[in-house]
Amino acid sequence: MEAQIEQQLEKILPEDIARTFESAYHVFQGDHDKMEDLIKHGGSLLKKIAQRLNPTQVIIGIAVIAAVAVVVVNRSMELPEEGEASDASDDKKANAKKLSSAGQNKGQQEDKRDNK
Protein backbone atom coordinates (compact mmCIF):
# COMPACT_ATOMS: atom_id res chain seq x y z
CA MET A 1 0.00 0.00 0.00
CA GLU A 2 2.77 2.44 0.92
CA ALA A 3 4.66 1.57 -2.27
CA GLN A 4 1.61 2.55 -4.33
CA ILE A 5 1.44 5.93 -2.62
CA GLU A 6 5.15 6.54 -3.30
CA GLN A 7 4.62 5.74 -6.98
CA GLN A 8 1.69 8.15 -7.21
CA LEU A 9 3.69 11.03 -5.70
CA GLU A 10 5.65 12.97 -8.25
CA LYS A 11 9.31 13.32 -7.43
CA ILE A 12 10.81 16.77 -6.99
CA LEU A 13 13.63 16.85 -9.51
CA PRO A 14 16.56 19.27 -9.54
CA GLU A 15 15.42 20.32 -13.02
CA ASP A 16 12.11 21.56 -11.56
CA ILE A 17 13.91 23.78 -9.09
CA ALA A 18 16.39 24.99 -11.72
CA ARG A 19 13.62 25.89 -14.18
CA THR A 20 11.73 27.81 -11.52
CA PHE A 21 14.81 29.78 -10.45
CA GLU A 22 15.77 30.43 -14.07
CA SER A 23 12.32 31.80 -14.86
CA ALA A 24 12.38 33.94 -11.71
CA TYR A 25 15.81 35.29 -12.68
CA HIS A 26 14.59 36.28 -16.15
CA VAL A 27 11.52 38.02 -14.73
CA PHE A 28 13.66 39.82 -12.13
CA GLN A 29 16.00 41.00 -14.92
CA GLY A 30 13.04 42.57 -16.72
CA ASP A 31 12.11 39.89 -19.26
CA HIS A 32 8.41 39.87 -18.42
CA ASP A 33 7.66 37.45 -21.25
CA LYS A 34 8.97 34.71 -18.92
CA MET A 35 6.26 35.45 -16.32
CA GLU A 36 4.04 32.73 -17.76
CA ASP A 37 6.90 30.22 -17.49
CA LEU A 38 7.57 31.28 -13.91
CA ILE A 39 3.94 30.72 -12.95
CA LYS A 40 3.85 27.35 -14.72
CA HIS A 41 7.14 26.06 -13.27
CA GLY A 42 6.48 27.51 -9.82
CA GLY A 43 3.01 25.98 -9.78
CA SER A 44 4.20 22.51 -10.71
CA LEU A 45 6.98 22.74 -8.11
CA LEU A 46 4.48 23.91 -5.49
CA LYS A 47 2.16 21.03 -6.36
CA LYS A 48 4.97 18.50 -5.91
CA ILE A 49 6.05 20.08 -2.63
CA ALA A 50 2.47 20.14 -1.32
CA GLN A 51 2.24 16.37 -1.89
CA ARG A 52 5.27 15.77 0.34
CA LEU A 53 4.73 18.28 3.16
CA ASN A 54 1.86 19.00 5.50
CA PRO A 55 -0.06 22.27 5.04
CA THR A 56 1.70 24.06 7.90
CA GLN A 57 5.11 23.32 6.42
CA VAL A 58 3.99 24.53 3.00
CA ILE A 59 2.64 27.80 4.42
CA ILE A 60 5.81 28.44 6.44
CA GLY A 61 7.96 27.65 3.39
CA ILE A 62 6.01 30.06 1.20
CA ALA A 63 6.22 32.77 3.88
CA VAL A 64 10.00 32.36 4.08
CA ILE A 65 10.35 32.57 0.30
CA ALA A 66 8.16 35.70 0.21
CA ALA A 67 10.20 37.34 2.98
CA VAL A 68 13.46 36.61 1.15
CA ALA A 69 11.99 38.01 -2.07
CA VAL A 70 10.99 41.24 -0.30
CA VAL A 71 14.49 41.65 1.16
CA VAL A 72 16.13 41.01 -2.22
CA VAL A 73 13.89 43.52 -3.98
CA ASN A 74 14.49 46.17 -1.30
CA ARG A 75 18.25 45.72 -1.51
CA SER A 76 18.19 45.90 -5.29
CA MET A 77 16.21 49.14 -5.09
CA GLU A 78 18.78 50.66 -2.68
CA LEU A 79 21.79 49.90 -4.87
CA PRO A 80 22.71 52.71 -7.26
CA GLU A 81 22.40 52.03 -10.95
CA GLU A 82 25.57 51.83 -13.07
CA GLY A 83 25.19 55.37 -14.41
CA GLU A 84 24.11 56.79 -11.06
CA ALA A 85 27.16 55.88 -9.00
CA SER A 86 27.96 58.70 -6.62
CA ASP A 87 31.38 59.91 -5.64
CA ALA A 88 32.44 59.12 -2.07
CA SER A 89 33.70 62.69 -1.62
CA ASP A 90 30.22 64.01 -2.46
CA ASP A 91 28.76 61.84 0.31
CA LYS A 92 31.36 63.11 2.79
CA LYS A 93 30.60 66.72 1.86
CA ALA A 94 26.87 66.17 2.29
CA ASN A 95 27.41 64.55 5.70
CA ALA A 96 29.72 67.39 6.77
CA LYS A 97 27.06 69.96 5.80
CA LYS A 98 24.45 68.10 7.82
CA LEU A 99 26.71 67.95 10.86
CA SER A 100 27.70 71.63 10.64
CA SER A 101 24.09 72.77 10.25
CA ALA A 102 23.09 70.61 13.21
CA GLY A 103 25.87 72.20 15.28
CA GLN A 104 24.75 75.71 14.27
CA ASN A 105 21.15 74.91 15.19
CA LYS A 106 22.27 73.66 18.59
CA GLY A 107 24.34 76.80 19.16
CA GLN A 108 21.37 79.01 18.25
CA GLN A 109 19.14 77.13 20.69
CA GLU A 110 21.70 77.62 23.47
CA ASP A 111 21.91 81.35 22.69
CA LYS A 112 18.12 81.65 22.95
CA ARG A 113 18.20 79.94 26.36
CA ASP A 114 20.94 82.31 27.58
CA ASN A 115 18.95 85.38 26.50
CA LYS A 116 15.85 84.32 28.45
pLDDT at 27: 87
The domains of the chain are located at 7-77
Helix axes 14-28, 35-52, angle to 10 degrees: 140
Give pTM, 2 decimals: 0.53
Angle, CA of 70, 21 and 48, to the nearest 5°: 100
Q: Give yes or no for a contact between 64 and 72, defined as CB atoms under 8 angstroms apart.
A: no
CB atoms closer than 10 angstroms to residue 105: 10
What does each of the 116 residues of the chain score in pLDDT, given as a tens digit? 566 666 667 888 899 999 999 998 998 888 888 889 999 999 999 899 888 899 999 999 889 988 988 888 888 788 766 555 555 555 555 555 555 555 555 555 555 555 55
pLDDT at 32: 85
H-helix segments, 1-116: 2-8, 14-28, 35-52, 55-78, 88-115
